[in-house]
Structure 1
Amino acid sequence: MNDKKIRNMEEFAAVSGISRPTLSKFFNDPSSVRASTRQRIEAALDRYDYRPNLYAINQNRRLTKNIGIVVPNLADPFFAEIARNIEEHILRTGYRPVLLGSHGTTEQEIENLENLRLLKPAGVLLAPLGRASDQARIAAFCEEVPAVLFDANVDSAGLAFVGSDNDQSIDLIVDYLCRTGEPPAFFEMKEPTNPNAHKRRHAYLAAMERLNHTPHLIQASGEGWEFEEIGFREGTRVVRDRNLPTDTILCSNDRLAIGFLSAAYEAGIRVGLGTDCTMRVAGHDDHPFSRYTCPTLTTVSQDYEAIARKSAETLMNLIEAESPPDSREETLFDGRLVMRGSA
């Protein structure tokens, strides 16, 4: 490695012997230059340990006025709602949102990023799949395009992350459930798709320890995004076996809770706060459908509006900045307890 510190692309062009226009073509789209030229550039990058200024390369992207929005599944009303809020904020800035859903698959998530790369977006707002994501590919994309991640975090990818404080929100609802009845068991997927589920599990364990209660994990088999089906199928199994350690069930998310409520109904179990009720069920997220279940679902709300606004504002600030930030920014919003009929 050469000890000379390269400060900008002009200096890199001078020491590498490769013209500035050719370098610009390469950094905008490596496949646009010949293979032999690409090899020369990559060798020079390694030799001089040069990484181009992300903002300088993306100056032309500002002219497109395109902002990519990628969510795991547009069929999920949770992501549809938060994407709608983000779109509204972006439109007010004069940029054009390009909304893409990943259909819960790694392949579609990567294809979405590749399609956005062709559009040369000014920036991208990305809610990654999480466990199923190709994290190396996401990190490589975020090196090329200004990106803010929301909902699910991928370490070291993107210039900022905006989401919910799972420690605060789970502690809030565990405390409420313990004060108003039996301490809850935690109903979750054994292999959750979204990394928030792991954070909520750890937060549940910490909250139960803080309150001097014994934690109980009930883990449901199943993978993917069909949470209601998994909640119903595994909830039916749990109710049928009748070995619940408590009459209070806290589900990792509202969609699992919706399935669990249906399983309880099919088993003839009354859920709620009445004297004839023998079970309480709560969730997390304040999913758009949670207010229409029977009984209506007690939950913790995520602040859709605040997450959408902060995500969009952060990306706009990054796009307009003259230089990249010194460190990755992380913003977490508190959840709010929503008390309804189920608990």
Structure 2
Amino acid sequence: MSEPKIKNMDEFASVSGISRPTLSKYFNNPDSVRKSTRERIEEALEKFDYRPNLYAMNQNRRLTKTIGIVVPNLTDPFFVKIARHIEDHVIAAGYRPVLLGSHGTQEQELENLNNLRLLKPAGALLAPLGRVSDKPQIQQFCDEVPTVLFDANIEDIGEAFIGSNNQQSITTVVEYLCRTGDAPAFFEMKTPTNPNAVKRRTAYISSMERLGHLPQLIQVDGDGWDFEEIGFREGTRLLSERHLKTDTILCSNDRLAIGLLSAAYQQGLRVGLGDGCALRVAGHDDHPFSRYTCPTLTTVSQDYSAIAQTSAETLVARIESNRALDSRREILFDGKLVMRGSA
């Protein structure tokens, strides 16, 4: 006959013969109890197949061991990759990560923050949507919960921002493209979704002017996070009209570039360097798919590992000090040029 189902910690304490305070101490930090006690608890967990209700435990604790991680879109491998790195660092620091995706909408981003409030998290790591974010609501959340922003910055919100140095990375790729061929035009959406896009446009303009070239902005229609579709649709229109003043296009991000590469293929244009090539295309981010396009995509990589580690370490230090930072910090990491077949 199987053991009866244990419904709560009180029942588990009764059947295991271990006091409830000791169990609470163990579930908060297994290393906080003696080895012999830890072994008894783990044997009882196995025997009675009991798993504590972490949500209920969190409601009864002033400070939980939960850290919320919110990203714009969990269908984008870029955010999956950086979130996985952050999760690893959060777990190594002794906290429990809760990963949430905002599906590219303001409503879901706010719902994620409200759901985190219910969990009473120790802190949060937030990659905000940016332009469509409800900034007053995010500010209110950051006033309640220690929060570090990463990837996309919203000025003066959160205790810190950890991200990429867009000025440096765009300057690096513009200089490379000018050095190896025609000066590039900049392919972007008229109303960028992510704040990084605006910084990249500004960096492109300043880099071109410094090098003595006239900036060429190609601003296309499109909204939301379907970047590949926008790149393909607007790239097809652009290439079919044959009005380009250069054979080199720098895209605001790799996902737009992936769509543009597909459009070039459909138009029968060979992309890359060398004889027979009609177009050069470069992007930004080193998206996980950029090394598998045809041709492979020249881009600038973001330092995923450093951004993830620094974001997690900054938040954990803030939580464990139990004291707000003296001033808002901004830490930017340089990008690295990745030369591939497309340029």
Task: Give 1:338's aligned residue.
Answer: 338
CA displacement at 1:157 relative to structure 2 = 1.0
8 Å Cα contact 1:286-1:302 kept in structure 2:
yes
Amino acid in structure 2 at the alignment position of 1:157: I
User: Deviation per CA, 1:163-221, whole angstroms, max 9, x where unpaired?
Assistant: 00000000000000000000000000011100100000000000000100011000110
Task: Give 1:208's aligned residue.
Answer: 208
For 2:339 and 2:251, the matched residues in 1 are separated by 15
For 1:120 and 1:158, the matched residues in 2 are separated by 17
Q: Between 298-307 and 272-281, report the one with greater CA deviation.
A: 272-281
Amino acid in structure 1 at the alignment position of 2:326: D
CA displacement at 1:65 relative to structure 2 = 0.6
For 1:279 and 1:172, the matched residues in 2 are separated by 20
8 Å Cα contact 1:61-1:122 kept in structure 2:
no
CA displacement at 1:325 relative to structure 2 = 1.5
CA displacement at 1:110 relative to structure 2 = 0.2
CA displacement at 1:155 relative to structure 2 = 1.3
Change (3 A) 1:61 1:181: farther
For 1:120 and 1:328, the matched residues in 2 are separated by 23
Q: Trace 1:86-125 onto structure 2 (pairs within 5 A).
A: 86-125=86-125
Amino acid in structure 1 at the alignment position of 2:148: V
User: Deviation per CA, 1:135-161, whole angstroms, max 9, x where unpaired?
Assistant: 000001000000000001111111000
8 Å Cα contact 2:63-2:120 kept in structure 1:
no
Change (3 A) 1:280 1:135: same
8 Å Cα contact 1:126-1:148 kept in structure 2:
yes
Amino acid in structure 1 at the alignment position of 2:220: A
8 Å Cα contact 1:209-1:215 kept in structure 2:
yes
Task: Give 1:328's aligned residue.
Answer: 328
CA displacement at 1:234 relative to structure 2 = 0.2
Task: Give 1:317's aligned residue.
Answer: 317
For structure 2, which runs of at least 5 residues remain unmatched after alignment?
1-57
CA displacement at 1:61 relative to structure 2 = 6.3
Q: Trace 1:173-192 onto structure 2 (pairs within 5 A).
A: 173-192=173-192
Task: Give 2:160's aligned residue.
Answer: 160
Q: Trace 1:1-343 onto structure 2 (pairs within 5 A).
A: 63-343=63-343
CA displacement at 1:274 relative to structure 2 = 2.4
For 2:212 and 2:274, the matched residues in 1 are separated by 27
For 1:159 and 1:312, the matched residues in 2 are separated by 13
Task: Give 2:3's aligned residue.
Answer: none
Tell me the secondary structure at the aligned position of residue 91 of structure 2: helix
For 2:331 and 2:186, the matched residues in 1 are separated by 26
For 1:137 and 1:322, the matched residues in 2 are separated by 23
Tell me the secondary structure at the aligned position of residue 219 of structure 1: strand
Tell me the secondary structure at the aligned position of residue 230 of structure 1: helix
Change (3 A) 1:179 1:63: same
User: Deviation per CA, 1:10-69, whole angstroms, max 9, x where unpaired?
Assistant: xxxxxxxxxxxxxxxxxxxxxxxxxxxxxxxxxxxxxxxxxxxxxxxx9x8674210000
User: Deviation per CA, 1:273-307, whole angstroms, max 9, x where unpaired?
Assistant: 12111110000000000000000000000000000
Tell me the secondary structure at the aligned position of residue 312 of structure 1: helix
8 Å Cα contact 2:271-2:281 kept in structure 1:
yes
For structure 1, which runs of at least 5 residues remain unmatched after alignment?
1-57
User: Deviation per CA, 1:90-145, whole angstroms, max 9, x where unpaired?
Assistant: 11111000000000000000000000001000000000000000000000100000
Tell me the secondary structure at the aligned position of residue 128 of structure 2: coil
8 Å Cα contact 1:130-1:152 kept in structure 2:
yes
CA displacement at 1:322 relative to structure 2 = 3.9
* Displacement over 2 Å in runs of 4+: 60-63
Amino acid in structure 2 at the alignment position of 1:136: P
CA displacement at 1:334 relative to structure 2 = 0.1
Amino acid in structure 1 at the alignment position of 2:124: V
Amino acid in structure 1 at the alignment position of 2:160: A
8 Å Cα contact 2:254-2:285 kept in structure 1:
yes
Task: Give 2:49's aligned residue.
Answer: none
Amino acid in structure 1 at the alignment position of 2:65: K
Percent of counterpart pairs with the same letter?
A: 73
CA displacement at 1:323 relative to structure 2 = 2.2
8 Å Cα contact 1:272-1:342 kept in structure 2:
yes
Q: How many residues align?
A: 285
Change (3 A) 1:312 1:61: farther
For 1:102 and 1:316, the matched residues in 2 are separated by 23
TM-score, normalised via structure 2 length? 0.82
8 Å Cα contact 1:132-1:193 kept in structure 2:
yes
Task: Give 1:37's aligned residue.
Answer: none
